[in-house]
Amino acid sequence: EPEVTQTPSHQVTQMGQEVILRCVPISNHLYFYWYRQILGQKVEFLVSFYNNEISEKSEIFDDQFSVERPDGSNFTLKIRSTKLEDSAMYFCASSDGGQITDTQYFGPGTRLTVL
């Protein structure tokens, strides 16, 4: 069964450093998402991406965050200058359609630790 993959599984960085989290969505999917989950808290929507542009973003997704689909397979989340509060699990998801009835498939996550 096709699945979403994410690398790395765990990233440790110093406050103020840039990090890039990578995702390979399911190959025929057209819609891509990033969510995050701070330890012990809810899963929070960050951004959705379609046709090479952001279709929706949350208030969490400020100027420090950016997303890119650099080639036909990867989808990345960049945090320009990490803060302690960015420590969380980051989940990538993809779907083949953009409706709520189109199932989003989540990757295993990247645990980001900011020191």
Partner 1 sequence: LAKTTQPISMDSYEGQEVNITCSHNNIATNDYITWYQQFPSQGPRFIIQGYKTKVTNEVASLFIPADRKSSTLSLPRVSLSDTAVYYCLVGAAAGNKLTFGGGTRVLVKP
- Binding footprint of partner 1 on the chain (CB under 8 A): 4, 31, 33, 35, 42-45, 48, 56, 58, 89, 91, 93, 95, 97-109, 111
Question: Residue 84 or residue 100: which is nearer to partner 1 going by CB?
Answer: 100
Q: Do the Cβ atoms of 72 and 24 come closer than 8 Å?
A: no
Least distance from partner 1 to the Cβ atom of residue 81, Å: 26
CA 40 – CA 18 distance, rounded (Å): 25
Question: Residue 15 or residue 38: which is nearer to partner 1 going by CB?
Answer: 38
Q: Closest Cα to residue 16, out of 75, 66, 86?
A: 86
62 Cβ contact partners less than 8 Å away, ≥ 6 residues apart: none
Least distance from partner 1 to the Cβ atom of residue 104, Å: 6
Q: Provide φ and ψ at 86, rounded to 5°.
A: -80, -10
Least distance from partner 1 to the Cβ atom of residue 18, Å: 24
